[in-house]
Amino acid sequence: MKKAIKLTAVVLSVILLASLLTSCKKNPSDTAAFKQLAEKSGFEIHDVTQQYADAPQIKEATVVAPSSREFQIEFYVITDKDSAKQLYLAQSEVVDGYKDSNFIGTSSNGQNYARRTVVTNGKYLMVSYIENTMVYVPPTDKTNKDAIEKFLKNFGY
């Protein structure tokens, strides 16, 4: 009887661990979905890929913003996962550079993604990558945080 209970506990633990590991992976989106959500949200859409002609690892770059231009959200398609992760790490340093003694920050990591936010000195910044894509929100007034987070949640980032 004790062996059956132990075996059941081990099996349940393995199932739980497997489900946790598979849930630590996200599916990347694409430029078309980003533009579609931006259009639905009433945002202006700008293809800025040409600005990155000297950065061959950036295949596509799109910036969206409300008509008030209070904030912008940038979406990048990168040539490969490793380059996306490196770009994410570089932008994370920019985001972390805004930290002060009163900052509020979040960070999450999974098998194929990572996300970092910082709210400090009245500013909000965010960077995230999934597979070979990246989203970046340059410093903006923290009053825009809720609108940005809603958009990003709907986008899956």
Q: Return the pLDDT at 3.
A: 54
Mean pLDDT in runs of 10 for the chain (157 residues)? Answer: 48 42 80 98 98 96 97 98 96 92 93 96 95 98 97 96
Q: Return the pLDDT at 15.
A: 45
Q: Return the pLDDT at 22.
A: 45
Q: What structural domains and CATH numbers belong to the chain?
A: 27-155 (3.40.1000)
The rounded distance, in Å, linking the Cα atoms of 53 and 137 is 21
Q: Which of 31, 51, 35, 55 is nearest to 43 (CA)?
A: 35
The encoded tokens of residue 134 equal 């990246």
Identify the helix (H) or strand (E) that includes residue 113: strand 113-120
pTM of the model: 0.83
